[in-house]
Structure 1
Amino acid sequence: MKVAIVHNHEHKSSEVTRHLLLLLKKNNIEIDDHRPDLVISVGGDGTLLSAFHRFSHRLDDVSFLGVHTGHLGFYTDWRDYELEELVQSLLVHQEKSISYPLLDVKISFHGNKPEKHFLALNESTIKRANRTMVADVLIKDELFEKFRGDGLSVSTPTGSTAYNKSIGGAVLHPSINAFQLAEIASLNNRVFRTLGSPIVIAHTEWLEIKLQESNDYLITVDQLDIYQDDIKSIYYRIADERIHFASYRHMHFWHRVKDAFISED
C-alpha cells in the first residue's frame, strides 16, 4: 500500500502528521505523494475537500481516510489520538471501501469560449455580486421555473449537511444517488413565483441554470471561487466518478448528524 498525507497548517495537525509519518515508516508503509492508493487527510472536513480536489484525477485508483484534529467532521473517521490503531488497521490490508456520489459541474459561456468542467464533493453555488439573480431553471431540458433571488445551491448527499442545510435544504443519506437544488432567499410574491422549497433530483436527470446576461456572477465549487465573464449557463448532474472512502472504520451517518447538530455532550 502507498499512502499520501494531506494536512492543514494548524500546529496540532502538523504534529499529528509528523507522528503519523513516523508510524507509517516504522511499519514499512510506503509514502507516495503522487500515485497513492490511500490518501489520509489530517485536519477537518475542509482538509479532506482539499485532498479530494488534489487527487480528483485518480478517483478510480485512490480511496480517502480522514483524521480530525478538532471537532468531529462528516468526512473524518479517526481521532488524532488513535494513530497507532489506524496504522495497525492499514497493515491488515482490508480492501473494503464505501463510495458516494459526486456532482458533475459544467460551465458554458457566450461566444466561442471553451466550457469549464469541475467535480464537487459538497456543493456548487451561483450568486450575483450586488443584484438580484435572475435565471431559468431547467430539469431534463424543460423549463421548471424562473428564479429570482440571491442565488441557488446544488449539493451532493454528503454535502447536504453543509451550506445546503444552513439555507433550509434537506439532509440526505450519502448512499442516495441523487443531488439537491435549494434556493437562496428567493423572491416570491404576486408577480414572481418559485417552488420555494428544496428539490431532490434523480441521477437519471440533469439540471441546467440559464443565467441572465451579466458579468458579475460568482460560481463556487466546494472551496473554489470562479469569477468569469460571459457565463451563459451551468449544467449539473450526478458524475460518473464517485469518491471512495476506506472503510477500516466508518461511523454511521445518522450518528454523525446527531453528534454534529443535536448532541450536547
Structure 2
Amino acid sequence: MRQLKVAVIHSHVEKSLKAADTLYKLLTARGHEINREQPDIVISVGGDGTLLSAFHLYNHKLDKVRFLGVHTGHLGFYTDWRDYELEELVETLCTNQEKSVSYPLLDVRIKYRNGKPDKHFLALNESTIKRGNRTMVADIYIKDELFERFRGDGLSVSTPTGSTAYNKSVGGAVLHPSINAFQLAEIASLNNRVFRTLGSPIVVAQQEWVEIKLQDSTDYLVTIDQFNIQQDHIDSVHYRIADERIHFASYRHMHFWHRVRDAFIGDL
C-alpha cells in the first residue's frame, strides 16, 4: 500500500468541516501522512472556490503536487468526488491505478509606468481588467501587433477550464480543457459609428500572446481568479499560456461535456 503525504484544504461551511474531519481520520487510519508543507496530493473539500484557493496556496509547487476535489454542494467543474464517497476515495489512494490529467493555466504579468517592478501571477480560471465607474480605453496587441482599441466596461481573459465561469456570462465560448489556448472576451464594449471593436470573443493559440496597454489612471481593478487587486498606474497587462500546468489525480474522471450539461442544462 502506498503511503502519501496529503494536504486537506476545506471551506468553513458545516458540511465541509464535517467531511474534512472524516477525511483526516480515514487517511491517518490507512497510514497516510497529513502534511500541508510538502504534500504529494492536495485534497480540496468544498466547491470550486475552495479548489481555486488550494491552487493559489500551492501554485509554486505545481511540478510536485496533484490536486483532487471533493464537492460538498452541487457538481463542480474541478471535483470528481462527493462528500458521501470519502471511504471509496481513500481506498483508491491506496491503489496504483491513478492517472493524471493536466489543464492549461494563464500567465499574467502586470507592468507599471512608475518604475515599480512587474507583478507576475498564475490563474486557473480567469483574469479581468476593469476601471472603476468610467469607460476603460485600452489598446489590444496580439503578438506585438495592434489589433484594436477597446472602449467599454472591461476585458475578461480565461483558460479553457475557466471558460464556463465569468467568460460564459459575458458571451464567451465554452472551451474543452484539452485545448491549449486562452480566450479574450469583451465586457460591454462600446460600438457605434465612431468607435468599433471586433465585438466577439477570440481564442488565442498557445504560441501567441496578448498585451493590453492601458491609459494612465489610478482606478484599475485587476482580478486573478477570485482575488481582487487594486492597481495604480498600470502600463499594460500581458497574457499568455503558462509554462506550468495544474495536475489532477484522476482516479475516475467525469467527461467535461457531462459536467457542462449537468451544470447548465440539467437532465434532458
TM-score (norm 2): 0.98
In the other structure, the counterpart of 1:3 is 6
In the other structure, the counterpart of 1:200 is 203
Task: Compute the displacement of 1:264 (Å).
Answer: 4.3
1:131-187 per-position Cα deviation (integer Å, ceiling 9, x unaligned): 000000000000000000000000000000000001100000001000000000000
Kindly provide the amino acid, as one letter, of the partner of residue 25 in structure 1.
Answer: T
Percent identity for Structure 1 against Structure 2:
75
1:37 to 32, 35, 40: 40
How do 1:127-146 residues align onto structure 2 when only pairs under 5 Å count? Answer: 127-146=130-149
1:194-240 per-position Cα deviation (integer Å, ceiling 9, x unaligned): 00000000000000000011110000000111112111100000000
In the other structure, the counterpart of 2:30 is 27
Alpha-carbon separation, structure 2, partners of 1:24 and 1:244: 21
Alpha-carbon separation, structure 2, partners of 1:224 and 1:93: 36
In the other structure, the counterpart of 1:238 is 241
In the other structure, the counterpart of 1:155 is 158
In the other structure, the counterpart of 1:190 is 193
Alpha-carbon separation, structure 1, partners of 2:42 and 2:97: 15
1:217 to 201, 217, 220: 220
In the other structure, the counterpart of 2:177 is 174
Counterpart secondary structure, 1:33:
coil
Matched, 1:260 2:263: yes
Counterpart secondary structure, 1:42:
strand
In the other structure, the counterpart of 1:17 is 20
1:50-94 per-position Cα deviation (integer Å, ceiling 9, x unaligned): 000000000000000000000100001000000010000000033
Counterpart secondary structure, 2:60:
helix
Alpha-carbon separation, structure 1, partners of 2:98 and 2:255: 19
Counterpart secondary structure, 1:58:
coil
1:75 to 69, 75, 78: 78
Task: Compute the displacement of 1:112 (Å).
Answer: 1.1
Alpha-carbon separation, structure 1, partners of 2:11 and 2:143: 40
Structure 1: unaligned runs, 5 residues or longer: none
- C-alpha RMSD over aligned residues: 0.8
Task: Compute the displacement of 1:95 (Å).
Answer: 4.3
Kindly provide the amino acid, as one letter, of the partner of residue 53 in structure 2.
Answer: S
Counterpart secondary structure, 1:57:
coil
How do 1:54-133 residues align onto structure 2 when only pairs under 5 Å count? Answer: 54-133=57-136
Alpha-carbon separation, structure 1, partners of 2:200 and 2:51: 30
Kindly provide the amino acid, as one letter, of the partner of residue 17 in structure 1.
Answer: A
The number of residues matched between the two structures is 265
Kindly provide the amino acid, as one letter, of the partner of residue 64 in structure 1.
Answer: F
Q: Hey, which bits of structure 1, 4+ residues long, moved more than 4 A?
A: none
Structure 2: unaligned runs, 5 residues or longer: none
1:9-41 per-position Cα deviation (integer Å, ceiling 9, x unaligned): 001100000001100011011111111010000
Counterpart secondary structure, 1:98:
strand
